Amino acid sequence: MTLDHTLVGATSEPVEKTWDSKDVMLYALGLGAGADDPLRELEFTTENTAGVELKVLPTYAVLAAQARGGRKFGDFDPAKLVHAEQGFELHAPLPVDGRVSVTSTITGMYDKGKGALVTTEATAADAETGKALVTSRSGVFIVGEGGFGGDRGPSDTWAAPDGEPDHVVRYQTRPDQALIYRLSGDRNPLHADPEFAARGGFPRPILHGLCTYGFTGRALLHALCGSDPERFDSMYGRFSRPVLPGDELVVSIWRDGDGSALFRTATGDGTVVIDKGRATFH
Q: Which residues contact 146 (CB under 8 A, 6 or more apart)?
A: 111, 112, 113, 114, 115, 116
Number of Cβ within 10 Å of residue 84's Cβ equals 19
Catalytic residue from among 4, 75, 91, 191 = 191
Bridge-based pairing of strands 260-267 and 248-255 is antiparallel
How far from the centroid of its chain's Cα atoms is residue 81's Cα? 15
Q: What is the CA radius of gyration of the chain?
A: 18
- Sheet (strand 260-267) strand order: 15-19, 98-111, 115-126, 132-143, 81-90, 232-239, 272-281, 260-267, 248-255, 167-172
Q: What are phi and psi of 213, to 5 degrees?
A: -60, -40
| DSSP tag of 238 | E
Q: Report the alpha-carbon distance of residue 47 to residue 67 in Å, rounded.
A: 26
Contacts of 31 (CB under 8 A, 6+ apart): 57, 59, 181, 211, 214, 215, 217, 218
Secondary structure (3-state) at 167: strand
Residue 64's CB is within 10 A of a number of other CB atoms, namely: 25
Catalytic residue from among 5, 23, 126, 186:
186
Q: Tell me the C-alpha to C-alpha distance, in Å, between residue 262 and each of 159, 190, 236, 270, 275.
A: 9, 30, 9, 17, 10
The reply to whether 191 belongs to the active site is yes
77 is catalytic: no
Which of the residues are catalytic? 186, 191
